[in-house]
Amino acid sequence: MKNYFSSNFKLGVLGGGQLGKMLLTETQKLDIYTSILDKSEDAPCAQICNEFHLGDLLDYDTVYNFGKTVDLLTIEIENVNIDALDQLQKEGLPIYPKPENLRVIQNKAQQKKFYKDHNIPTADFTHFAYLEELKHSYENGLIEFPFVWKSARFGYDGNGVKVVKSYADLEGLPEGECIAEKLVPFKNELAVIVARNQKGEIKTYPVVEMEFHPEANQVEYVICPARIDDTVAKKAREVALKVADEFGFIGLLAVEMFQTQEDEILVNEAAPRTHNSGHYTIEASYTSQFEQHVRSILNLPLGNTDSKVAGIMVNLVGAEGHTGDVIYENMENILEIEGVTPHIYGKKHTKPFRKMGHVTIVNEDINKARALAQQVKETVKVISK
Amino acid sequence: MKNYFSSNFKLGVLGGGQLGKMLLTETQKLDIYTSILDKSEDAPCAQICNEFHLGDLLDYDTVYNFGKTVDLLTIEIENVNIDALDQLQKEGLPIYPKPENLRVIQNKAQQKKFYKDHNIPTADFTHFAYLEELKHSYENGLIEFPFVWKSARFGYDGNGVKVVKSYADLEGLPEGECIAEKLVPFKNELAVIVARNQKGEIKTYPVVEMEFHPEANQVEYVICPARIDDTVAKKAREVALKVADEFGFIGLLAVEMFQTQEDEILVNEAAPRTHNSGHYTIEASYTSQFEQHVRSILNLPLGNTDSKVAGIMVNLVGAEGHTGDVIYENMENILEIEGVTPHIYGKKHTKPFRKMGHVTIVNEDINKARALAQQVKETVKVISK
């Protein structure tokens, strides 16, 4: 094994947002020297990493040159320049997750095609190189309202996804490569995080259940364990495992899924990194997803994915009507609630629905945790001065 | 409540060692801007705090000038210039723990006198202004071998404490103010961490049991919960609570105690800060001692001190015969063990018995945890290149 701890080994991370910041907690814990590339000098990681580089993650030269300064490269966001990663890998730099996996996942049409090609259950879809093709398909009666439009590239937090119910909706869509997906009525939206290292050791976290904010299309509560049948949970973990296995994935893969009315599991999409649906692991699990990410990319033994207690996560998003320097209102009140841990990402500026932090609520009793989570959500407000 | 999160509020910390580093994990989590003063530019905190100042913690001007740059001051080590703190407090700076408490605790003779004056059970002792006085006392038959000699000032990790069994031992003692304490045969060495905030809210962590390395006089295992009778545990928590209450303490106070053969509880000494005996809380407790420290000094509600699971801590100290750049041997092997979390403090240089890190082992079953802890201890080695 390489000597990673208190050594000259340098871990490079593309992206310095909140996921990077929570990763730094783990690299600090293990004293792994960490260098970060991000386009903003106000990035949450900027002040607290060992080394910070300012630059555009989508620019070939920037990513390539950054890669040449580190011993192993990973990501905290998937929208990065893959051509540069390919070249770095060719020159011998270990990069996890692998660039070829990132390329497939980065493009939602290719990602869906991958699932279809590998017999991974997913909703039916049609792929269009241009929006115009989608319109023609509709006009020729090949697709019907309602359907789910997804931009092939750079969707994030519900941007790039829209339920299209009318011609007006269709007219309002942005240009570009996209897919039209069958709208599947579902009981639950679930997620499973899978960790896999180079040795091929693979582990899944328990199934979590997600509740979305109806307007903002952002996750409102993440609940672990999901309140579903064991057979459905088992199926969800198996499907997630299959996705990671078929990719030959190295690192953390968050697989989002639908539980249909018929208790089928359909893969919605996967994220090749630590994920909002795994934040609860910091307080609830034997191994947090961020430590697991470090273990998996460094080919260390994977940690126990079981939970010590039930965990629920509430996102702290900017309140509507508030734009400006942030204030967290009623923080003192939520700190009075048992088992509550706030995480403040360090963004100085709030705007409506911006992810500013999250709060984890843990309890031995999941129903108690759910009630306290509601209380947290109704109490704390992210407003501007 | 003050706005501490993502704000202009600046927390100052005297000391930038491993306790400071683990505190930074919490201030980063809550995005509380943190400025550190330490005498070494290689201090574990140096690279990862918001602001780092280089300087001597025992120098009046250095501590005073640092204090003038922050909004609230705390410590991670008690050996600091108290005169400077007194002046800063007089000028209106909030300082927790309070300088007057630090002054008493810093001097072991004064600390013991405090216990005696406040009816807190502690072993009998005699106070000497000079070593010569102690020698005269012995020669005049006023004290007998064996007794425990303690330097009044600047003892740390077993330095400044010696069991004196013979005249040769007595001859070998260093000069200076000291106490001679009755050697009490004890069943167990216990510790309880107490948190108290300005509002007077007060909470104790469960009693932990400590096992010491016989030669190095450093803690080898810290076990939570202590495997003792409930009545003894209750008494230990009550005694610790009384110590914090009598001090009117604000912050975290770690109270080390002896359980005598007769199940009496005697206070050995207290540390006015986060403590090695509380490291297990990071993985095992609802609220880690470092988060609790932040909560208590900022007058926020205190968190739940209960444990989610049993926790055992093993110190990682430099192996004998090894001095130089550090290597953590067999880290991969301990990471394979269930429920194991290593903490590497980031000291580049190892020497025999230097505290380089610790490992926490958590498990639902404390006996299983104890067995795994032994395995960890026998496997990992802190050596030099």
- What is the ipTM, given to two decimal places? 0.94
**Structure tokens belonging to residue A173:** 């869509």
Chain A residue with CA closest to B22: the answer is A29
Q: What pLDDT sits at residue B157?
A: 55
Burial of A66-81, coded b for 16+ CB within 10 Å and e otherwise, reads bbeebbbbbbbbbbbb
- When pLDDT is averaged across residues A325-342 and rounded to a whole number, the result is 97
Asked whether the beta carbons of residue B341 and residue A291 sit closer than 8 angstroms, the reply is yes
Give the model's pLDDT for residue B300. 97
CB contact under 8 A, A48 and B28: yes
Reported confidence tier of residue B330, pLDDT bands at 50, 70, 90: very high
Q: What is the pLDDT averaged over residues B188-211? A: 96
Select from B25, B28, B327 the Cβ nearest to the Cβ of A3.
B327
Which superfamily does A124-182 belong to?
Answer: ATP-grasp fold, A domain (3.30.1490.20)
All residues of chain B having their beta carbon less than 8 Å from the beta carbon of residue A341 are 29, 291
B269 is known to lie in a ligand binding site: yes
Q: Which of A5, A24, A346 sits opposite B6 (nearest CB)?
A: A346
pLDDT the model gives residue A203: 98
**Residue A220: what residue type?**
E
Q: What share of chain A is helix, strand, coil (3-state, %, to 5)?
A: 30, 30, 40
Predicted confidence band at A260 (pLDDT cuts at 50, 70, 90)? Answer: very high
Q: Which residues contact B156 (CB under 8 A, 6 or more apart)?
A: B79
B75 by DSSP, 3-state: which?
Answer: strand
Mutating which of A28, A36, A279 best tests the B interface, going by the most B Cβ atoms within 10 A?
A: A28
Q: What is the mean pLDDT of residues B325-331?
A: 96
* DSSP per position, A139-178: HTTSS-SSEEEEESB--BTTBTEEEE-SHHHHHTSPSSSE
Q: Which amino acid is at B115?
A: Y
Binding residues of A: 108, 150, 181-184, 189, 268-269
pLDDT number for residue B153: 85
Residue range B241-265: mean pLDDT, rounded: 97
Residue B184 is labelled as binding a ligand: yes
| Average pLDDT of every residue of chain A | 95
State the residue for tokens 């609630």: A337
CB contact under 8 A, A29 and B341: yes
Contacts of A28 in chain B (CB under 8 A): 21, 24-25, 48, 346
Residues whose CB is less than 8 angstroms from the CB of residue B72 and which lie 6 or more positions away in sequence, other chains included: B9, B10, B11, B12, B93, B94, B95, B96, B297, B298
pLDDT tens-digit series, residues A249-258:
999 999 999 9
Which residues have a Cβ under 8 Å from the Cβ of B179 and sit 6 or more positions away? B108, B109, B112, B125, B126, B127, B128, B149, B150, B152
Q: Which residue of A has its CA nearest to B286?
A: A339
pLDDT reported for residue B217: 64
Beta-carbon separation of B308 and A362 below 8 A: yes
Residues of chain A whose beta carbon is less than 8 angstroms from a beta carbon of chain B are 1, 3, 5-7, 21, 24-25, 28-31, 47-50, 286, 291, 295, 300-301, 303-304, 308-309, 326-328, 331-332, 335-336, 338-348, 362
User: Shortest Cα distance from B140 to chain A (angstroms)?
Assistant: 54
Cβ within 8 Å, pair B6-A308: no
User: Contact B344/A29, CB-based, under 8 Å?
Assistant: yes
Question: φ and ψ at B43, to 5 degrees?
Answer: -55, 140
* Rounded-to-integer distance, Cα B22 and Cα B27, Å: 9
Tokens 């050996």 sit at which residue? Answer: B79
**Helix ranges (DSSP H) in chain A:** 18-29, 60-67, 82-90, 99-106, 108-117, 131-139, 167-171, 230-247, 281-284, 289-297, 331-335, 366-379
- Cβ-defined contact of A29 to B343 (cutoff 8 Å): yes
Of B303, B339, B346, the CB nearest to A6: B346
* Predicted confidence (pLDDT) per residue in B211-231, tens digit: 877 776 667 899 999 999 999
Which CATH fold topology does A186-384 show? Answer: D-amino Acid Aminotransferase; Chain A, domain 1 (3.30.470)
Percentage of chain A surpassing pLDDT 90? 92
Confidence of residue A202 (pLDDT cuts 50, 70, 90): very high
Q: Which chain B residues contact residue A350 at CB under 8 A? A: none
Q: How far apart are CA A200 and CA A251, in angstroms?
A: 11
Cβ of A327 within 8 Å of Cβ of B3? The answer is: yes
Tokens of A128: 């269009």
Check whether B174 has a pLDDT greater than 80.
yes
pLDDT over 80 (residue B281): yes
Contact B342 A30 (CB under 8 A): yes
B10-68 pLDDT, tens digit per residue, is 999 999 999 999 999 999 999 999 999 999 999 999 999 999 999 999 999 999 999 99
Task: Give chain B's mean pLDDT.
Answer: 95
Residue A296, pLDDT > 60, answer yes
- B164-191 exposure pattern, b = at least 16 Cβ within 10 A, e = fewer: beeeeebeeeeeebbbbbeeeebebbbb
Q: Is residue B145 very low, low, confident or very high in pLDDT (cuts 50, 70, 90)? A: very high
Q: How far apart are CA B230 and CA B241, in angstroms?
A: 16
Interface test with B, best of A3, A6, A293 (most B CBs within 10 A): A6
Q: Which fold is adopted by the domain B10-95?
A: Rossmann fold (3.40.50)
Q: How is chain B split into domains, by residue range?
A: 10-95, 124-182, 186-384
Whole-angstrom distance, CA of residue B353 vs CA of residue B158: 11
CB contact under 8 Å between A6 and B347, yes or no, is yes
**pLDDT of A158 above 80:** no
Interface contact flag, A286 B332, Cβ < 8 Å = no
pLDDT at residue A219 in the model = 73
Min Cα separation B285/chain A (Å): 9
Encode pLDDT of A37-75 as tens digits.
Answer: 999 999 999 999 999 999 999 999 999 999 999 999 999
